[in-house]
Each structure stands twice: as C-alpha cells, then as structure tokens.
C-alpha cells in the first residue's frame, strides 16, 4: 500500500525593502520641504536596507504615527 502526505501549510514569505520607499530621483520625499539628497546620505541610508536609521525617515514615521487612517 502506498500512502502520500499532503502538506496544506503555505510557505511564509518575508519581504525586505532594499532601499527607502521615500527616495526620489534627487529629493527625499519623506522630508516636509523635499530637501535634496546628497550622495553621502544616499549611499549610507537611502539605497540600503539601513534606511530606518535615517533621521528624516524616522521623522516622517513619527509625524504619521499618531494620526488615524481615514
């Protein structure tokens, strides 16, 4: 007799952002004033997965943390 085991669990996928979701071509869209992004900040924060250490990104998150979604 041959039996088969069927797994019904779905694999869990974890997605990681590779760069900041607020990075524009030449400006940071997370900033209130759309400040220009210099190459040093872009290299260390914007285009890496370390963008959550950027003070501009953190300020954006904190500005909207207390607001209720509409």
Q: Which of 43, 46, 17, 18 is nearest to 31 (CA)?
A: 46
pLDDT at 3: 57
- As averages over each run of 10 residues, the pLDDT of the chain (70 residues) reads 58 64 83 84 83 87 73
pLDDT at 2: 54
For residue 42, what are the contacts with CB-CB under 8 A and spacing of at least 6?
A: 23
Q: What is the pTM of this model?
A: 0.60
pLDDT at 16: 56
């Amino acid at each position: 007799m041959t039996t088969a085991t069927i797994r019904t669990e779905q694999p869990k996928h974890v997605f990681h952002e590779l760069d900041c979701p607020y990075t524009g071509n030449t400006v940071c869209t997370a900033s209130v004033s759309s400040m220009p992004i210099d190459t040093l900040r872009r290299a260390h924060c914007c285009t890496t997965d370390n963008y959550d250490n950027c003070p501009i990104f953190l300020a954006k998150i904190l500005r909207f943390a207390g607001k209720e979604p509409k």
